[in-house]
Amino acid sequence: MLTFVLRRLLQTLPVLLGIILICFVLLRLSGDPTNLLVSPHASAQERQLVRERFGLDRPWYEQLGRYLRFDLGLSYQQQRPVAQIVMEAAVVTARLTLGAMIVAVALGLTAGMVSAYRPNSAFDYAAAAAASVGVSIPAFWLAMLLILLFSVKLGWLPLPSASAPGELQYLVIPVVTLGLISTALIARLTRGCMLETLTQDYVRTAQAKGIGRMKMLLGHALPNALVPIVTVIGTNLAGLLTGAVLTETATSMPGLGRVIYTAISQRDHPVIMGGCLLFAVVFIAVNLAVDILYGLLDPRIRHA
């Protein structure tokens, strides 16, 4: 197992290096950020001072070396360390994402297993209809709908506020929004994988031995159906981290998506690069965790 993990870990290093190189080249091709930091009428000496302050006067390979060492420097607009800006926003996004995944996994697995337990039942048809609607609804529209219903009309929850992003009551609507969007896909995939697994010979043998249907679902079918489900959960987790910008904007949450969107509009290159590096590390870590789970769930994968 250790060899399997080390092999996967070594395979991620070229991916991270490639992402850093691509982001660095694209940012350099976007133009000289000094033009945004100083007045058009600034003297050459003033422009040089700004370039020295932000390290823009150094050769390209030294600037690339800083990013390879994860030295992100200062934000052009906020005059603060980029690492501090990115991490503050990442904490908010991580709370939203982890909460949403807990909701999605709990509801999705439960709905999928119940549908597989009673296929072609009223619950199965209702779950299929709800999943179709959930996949089709845009996250920002659902967020605004929930705000209108639970905050404006019913008054059960406070309006989302950027000044209190960490308090539980302000996280309910964003978490439920992101969670419901992912629940639909997990539920339908769980149902399909479970029904396919139930047709296997070892399941029919277990049924012939008199094992109850619920015990057979949880003890035999579910563990063998988890590999594709884990893949979707891992993909959704990484996707929620990067795709929460619309939900964060609709609910006024100062997460990483909004920070990067603002940095792009202001051409704040260090913040953009910091966000890209964090996203790359998150994607790589999630994919590595999924690969390790593959090896734990199916020994044939780690011995291949």
Contact between residue 93 and residue 257 where contact means Cβ atoms under 8 Å apart: yes
pLDDT of residue 214: 75
Give the phi and the psi of residue 74 in degrees, each rounded to 5: -105, 150
What is the distance between the alpha carbons of residues 40 and 32, in angstroms, rounded to a whole number? 13
Whose CA is closest to 124, among 192, 214, 225? 192
What DSSP line would sit under 74-89, residue for residue? Answer: B-TTT-SBHHHHHHHH
pLDDT in tens, 246-274: 677 667 777 787 788 888 888 888 888 88
Domains present along the chain, CATH in parentheses: 2-68 (no CATH), 83-302 (1.10.3720.10)
Rounded to 5 degrees, φ, ψ at 182 are -85, -25
Q: What is the pLDDT of residues 167-182, one digit of tens each?
A: 667 778 778 888 887 8
Rounded Cα distance between 59 and 65, Å, is 10
Does residue 166 register a pLDDT over 70?
no
Reported pTM = 0.72
107 pLDDT tier (thresholds 50, 70, 90): confident
| Cα–Cα distance measured from residue 121 to residue 127, given in angstroms and rounded to the nearest whole number | 10
Q: Mind listing the pLDDT tens digit for each residue in 48-85?
A: 787 777 777 788 888 888 777 777 778 887 888 888 88
As to burial, measured by CB atoms within 10 angstroms (0-12 exposed, 13-18 middle, 19+ buried), residue 235 is: middle
- Does residue 161 carry a pLDDT above 70? no
Which pLDDT does position 164 carry in this prediction? 53
